[in-house]
Structure 1
Amino acid sequence: MGVDYYNILKVNRNATDDDLKKSYRRLAMRWHPDKNPSSKTEAEAKFKQISEAYDVLSDPQKRAIYDQYGEEGLKGMPPPGSQSATSYANSSRGPSNFQFNPRDAEDIFAEFFGSSPFGFESMGRAKSMRFQTDGGGTFGGFRGADGAHRTHTDGASSTSGVQLRKAPPVESKLPCSLEDLYTGSTKKMKISRNVIRPNGRLAQETEILTIDIKPGWKKGTKITFPDKGNESANQLPADLVFVIDEKPHEVYKRDGNDLILHYKIPLVDALAGTTITLKTLDGRDLSVSLPDVVTPGYELVVAREGMPIARERGKKGNLRIKFELLFPSRLSPDQRISIRRILGG
């Protein structure tokens, strides 16, 4: 097949448009000649290869011809052992009437980063997720081409000398059960957005985003996918932000890292003692003994049976059981006499 464009761009043969863009951004920033002054000749050759690979694979017609006929067919050359290039290109086996004119590498680069990308480094930032807690802390982050951390306020860049502003973040609630936040879970979110193709046309793209919910995350935790909003010609795409929203639970209520449980107990058990069995959020049976007299408003604390603490791996809050006494609706005369005798009233 000659040159392996898929290998040059570090993608597989099923790569999507988004996969191609991500890989091109990363490789082009790494191998641009201006970023490699000490090895400019080598960098320039690699940069041109990367640009040509993206030019071919991002164009449906070029990619189809390349997949079927290889580099020789794409460029109108006969395969090894065949006839001349002209007869091959015009034959039923070749891509007739197709002329491959590779685009200028710097033109492709400018579409992604502007004419002065290294002066506006936010365009070169990595496409990774960012997590922010309700208290303003950060679970993870992304770094720009220079390694510097970025924040929500970043976003000015340049295309052909024109200053572009970044669209405001688009926030969406992500409902999670208390079980999700206790054990951790994975959510798949399908999004549709407008993207600008390399030919300048606007198209709709569908993508599945994967969100790994970590044990102990709280309501208000933010998961940010940089630049996953709609694209337009006049501004940088918005970040897409999912905000954790905790769904009510029928048994437990969360209070920070603690879990609260309201438990109704018959008066006889409250006085005589008992053992209760609770179903935990991860499906365990938890036995709790009540050796003492349970009085109205009594609260029992079970250590380390609360929510996982996200920032302290292996640690948990407490379970706080608040008891409500259930009194009998009526007593017989004999029962009344017995109670008075026992309690000494």
Structure 2
Amino acid sequence: MGRDYYTALEINRNATDADIKKAYRRLALKYHPHSNRQPGACERFRDLAEAYDVLSDLRKKATYDKFGEEGLKGGIPPESAENGAWSQGYVFHGNPEKTFRQFFGGDNPFADFYTADGHEVGIDFGGLRGRGVKKQDPPIERDLHLALEDLFYGCTKKMKISRRVMNEDGHSSSIKDKILSINVKPGWNEGTRITFQKEGDQGPNSIPADIIFIVRQKPHPRFNRQNKDLIYTADISLEMALTGFAVEVETLDGRLLTIPINDIVDPQYSKVVPGEGMPLSSSPSTRGDLIIHFKTHYPEKLTAEKKRLLKQALAT
């Protein structure tokens, strides 16, 4: 009498495709040679693979249900073949690990036992040649683009991520969304790194990666930033550079500063307004400076009379 594939998978003949998959998952994990060193486990593991290979294929299963193992492996005469039944003799490929890897795919709980090309890694008495210990996946880095106002006041950013998480059975996984909350502190600098530990993809053979968000400051229409200081560039005429003027600057918090400039503005000149820059992340009540640079626009041409007057005015 031929073997009973249903008995091998511990299911009855009315089992659905889902029942077959569930049974194979449970028993293959139980009798896998890397988790079960009991006598007979390897043979049992092979029987499970062959049973699943047959019962998970509709044509093979139809032939087996009608003609048994003998008919399945011996081949069915053309006059007996019907309803898509398998008409040639079935031969199991003989590699239970192949069936196992195809079934579990990326969720293979014994993936660390194999090289990239699927060959099994040897085992020493000390264990799996250094590969049995779980290793953490490399960190995942993402840019966090923030406006200068966000870094001035501070804010909360909600970041949605999609990651693979293990299901309750401990073997399969699914993709789920998660919201990560980032509390941006006033004064954070470009390049600040915010780490969420082990929020990457979960897997049976690895430690989830850390997710790291890196602050990237968006360009601002009025200011450039240098650490704790804000840089503002004012456009002025040559007349203003030589005779004095007042420059108006709208701050990040909406105030309008009027700063008198009584000095002669040469190309190296800048005006420092203390305490009007960015807050310090370590001490938000302390602020850097506002530094005003000037871009002087020279006249494109002068009349002879204006040149004469300028020479007269600038003569020492």
TM-score range, shorter-chain basis?
Answer: 0.5 to 0.7
Residue 177 in 1 paired to residue 147 in 2?
Answer: yes
User: Structure 2: where are the runs of 5+ without partners?
Assistant: 1-131
**Matching residue of 2:194:** 223
State the AA in 2 paired with 1:190. Answer: K
State the AA in 2 paired with 1:257. Answer: K
- Which digits, 9 at most, give the CA deviation of each residue in 1:153-174, with x for residues without a partner? xxxxxxxxx7422222211111
Alignment of 1:128-139 (within 5 A): none
Residue 188 in 1 paired to residue 158 in 2?
Answer: yes
- Which digits, 9 at most, give the CA deviation of each residue in 1:261-304, with x for residues without a partner? 23221111111111111122232212111011111221111111
Aligned residue for 2:242, secondary structure, equals helix
Aligned residue for 2:188, secondary structure, equals coil
- Which digits, 9 at most, give the CA deviation of each residue in 1:140-194, with x for residues without a partner? xxxxxxxxxxxxxxxxxxxxxx742222221111111222212212222111101
Residue 285 in 1 paired to residue 264 in 2?
Answer: no
How far, CA to CA, are the matches of 1:282 and 1:167 in structure 2?
43
- Which digits, 9 at most, give the CA deviation of each residue in 1:60-105, with x for residues without a partner? xxxxxxxxxxxxxxxxxxxxxxxxxxxxxxxxxxxxxxxxxxxxxx
Q: Is the 8 A contact 2:244 2:263 kept in 1?
A: yes
How far, CA to CA, are the matches of 2:292 and 2:222 in structure 1?
11
- Return the match for 1:329 from 296, 300, 309: 300
State the AA in 1 paired with 2:186. Answer: P
How far, CA to CA, are the matches of 2:234 and 2:247 in structure 1?
10
How far, CA to CA, are the matches of 1:252 and 1:313 in structure 2?
19
How far, CA to CA, are the matches of 1:303 and 1:336 in structure 2?
39
Residue 302 in 1 paired to residue 273 in 2?
Answer: yes
How far, CA to CA, are the matches of 1:283 and 1:185 in structure 2?
17
**Matching residue of 1:274:** 245
State the AA in 2 paired with 1:294. Answer: V
Aligned residue for 1:182, secondary structure, equals helix
**Matching residue of 2:136:** 166
How far, CA to CA, are the matches of 1:283 and 1:241 in structure 2?
33
Q: Is the 8 A contact 2:234 2:247 kept in 1?
A: no
Alignment of 1:1-345 (within 5 A): 163-200=133-170, 201-344=172-315
How far, CA to CA, are the matches of 2:166 and 2:177 in structure 1?
13
How far, CA to CA, are the matches of 2:243 and 2:173 in structure 1?
74
State the AA in 2 paired with 1:281. Answer: L
User: Structure 1: where are the runs of 5+ without partners?
Assistant: 1-161
Shift of 1:208: 1.6
How far, CA to CA, are the matches of 1:167 and 1:296 in structure 2?
53
Shift of 1:231: 0.3
State the AA in 1 paired with 2:193. Answer: K
Q: Is the 8 A contact 1:297 1:324 kept in 2?
A: no
State the AA in 2 paired with 1:166. Answer: Q
**Matching residue of 1:87:** none
**Matching residue of 1:58:** none
**Matching residue of 2:103:** none
Aligned residue for 1:171, secondary structure, equals strand
% identical aligned pairs: 39
Aligned residue for 2:158, secondary structure, equals strand
How far, CA to CA, are the matches of 1:202 and 1:334 in structure 2?
85
Aligned residue for 1:314, secondary structure, equals strand
How far, CA to CA, are the matches of 2:311 and 2:298 in structure 1?
16
TM-score, length-scaled by structure 2: 0.55
- Which digits, 9 at most, give the CA deviation of each residue in 1:94-133, with x for residues without a partner? xxxxxxxxxxxxxxxxxxxxxxxxxxxxxxxxxxxxxxxx
Q: Is the 8 A contact 2:146 2:216 kept in 1?
A: yes
State the AA in 1 paired with 2:283. Answer: E
TM-score, length-scaled by structure 1: 0.50
State the AA in 2 paired with 1:223. Answer: I
Report the aligned-residue RMSD: 1.7
Please identify, of 247-256 and 264-273, the stretch whose mean Cα deviation from structure 2 is larger: 247-256
Runs of 4+ in 1 over 6 A off after TM superposition: none
